[in-house]
Amino acid sequence: MRERRGWARAPGSAGAAGLGCPEPRHGPGFDPGSPPTALERPRFDALGRWLLARTAELAASRPDVSVEPEATVFTNIAAGSADVVRPWVDALRNVGFAVFAKPKIDDDSDVDADMLAHIALRCQEGLAALMVASADGQAFRQPLEDIARGGVPVQVLGFREHASWALASDTLEFVDLEDIAGVFREPLPRIGLDSLPEQGAWLQPFRPLSSLLTSRE
């Protein structure tokens, strides 16, 4: 049996892959101009335990194959941010997550393509299930729905406020990160257009205004 980080595979076996996209460090209403607070940071050890429990369920339903989990995070590293991101990356690796890190040079250096290529490879090798954390429906909805239609259960992890594409899908199952036990220490301050307080509330931008200076026309 050949071993990979977070994977174990042999002929006739299947994997349960948990894959994460950039910036899984924040809650649904974070301020992009400030670092996440302790409340907004997800606990990846709790997420890893959830993945292990999900793997055990799959293994029980498929006694004829060996089902092993993989937990992988894909992230871009912007110039000058290595020291800021390193503790988060080290924390992920310390609880068993593999991390694919790529320099953020321009819009074309995003990790979406790398993540999709990794998913495609795992599908070729054999998947019992796939769990993906992403708010990018434009990049991921069609590929994930194709996988689901092929018979592999696909769950999208994230926040309802940013995952309308997954909630609207007939083939994908959505799991809100806050519904997974222990991922957040306390309930998040979630504010949306359908849950506004009487006194009103500020809705923070999804990205800094300065990002317009570097985005492509």
How much is the pLDDT for 163? 87
Q: Contact, 183 vs 28, CB < 8 A?
A: no
User: Looking at residues 140-164, what average pLDDT do you find?
Assistant: 92
- Determine the longest span between alpha carbons in the chain, in angstroms: 60
* pLDDT recorded at residue 137: 87
pLDDT at 169: 95
The CA-CA-CA angle for residues 74, 80, 85, to 5°, reads 40
Q: pTM higher than 0.85, yes or no?
A: no
Residue-averaged pLDDT of the chain: 80
pLDDT at residue 215 in the model: 57
- All structural domains of the chain, each given as residue ranges with its CATH number in brackets, are 41-183+196-213 (3.40.50)
Mean pLDDT (whole number) for 72-82: 90
pLDDT higher at 106 or 178: 178
Q: Does the pLDDT of residue 106 top 60, yes or no?
A: yes
pLDDT at residue 89, rounded to an integer: 92
When comparing pLDDT for 90 and 15, which is higher?
90
